[in-house]
Structure 1
């Protein structure tokens, strides 16, 4: 997919009824928000898990939660309910270089895990 600066990247929107009752878009938006919250909470739990087996179990559940969130995002994007903003190639390259530089400042791989 080719991006153009300042242009939204979006599929045609699937129409939903505009009523006070929740529609498919409302339900999926709510589910995605919940999955994002749960993923962040599992991340905190993993950081605080004092037992290896507990960490592994929470990590497994977190991975499933992340996949659910990704699937919900993809559904929303396919239905045109989620848009992305295009960026010029120069901005993408500059950001990549900036974060690559930050990565080189991180401690090396010989740190204990």
Structure 2
């Protein structure tokens, strides 16, 4: 039996459909920029050899990650970002598939 994927979304906040950028466009660009910055800081943290510099970068990484989360929450609240709930059976299958990889790392 095939289970339906449930979409989770808030009511969409309408924005003007004009040639120029609107509020949703700006927030989307900020969210994507934060995602790229978090990724770049994560790489820098992995390669950092100086503890003082690591702590400095980690603080910026944490602040940027929190800003990214706030932007995501804003977009979700305004209905501009949707998520799909996966059936528990599919989650269990994915966990079982990935478990051998975890055991290899231990």
TM-score (norm 2): 0.88
Cα displacement string for residues 46-105 of structure 1 (whole angstroms, at most 9, x for unaligned residues): 122120111111111101111111111111011110011221110012222333442222
* Aligned mates of 1:97, 1:64 — CA distance in 2: 34
CA RMSD of aligned residues (A): 1.5
Matched, 1:79 2:92: no
In the TM superposition, what is the alpha-carbon distance from 1:8 to its structure 2 partner?
1.7
In structure 1, the residue matched to 2:13 is: 14
Structure 2: segments with no counterpart, 5+ residues = none
* Structure 1 counterpart SS, 2:31: helix
* Aligned mates of 2:56, 2:99 — CA distance in 1: 32
Deviates more, 1:46-55 or 1:91-100: 91-100
In structure 2, the residue matched to 1:99 is: 98
Matches within 5 A, 1:20-99: 20-99=19-98
Larger helix fraction of residues: 2
In the TM superposition, what is the alpha-carbon distance from 1:44 to its structure 2 partner?
1.5
TM-score (norm 1): 0.83
* Structure 1 counterpart SS, 2:16: coil
8 Å contact 1:32–1:73 — kept in the other structure? yes
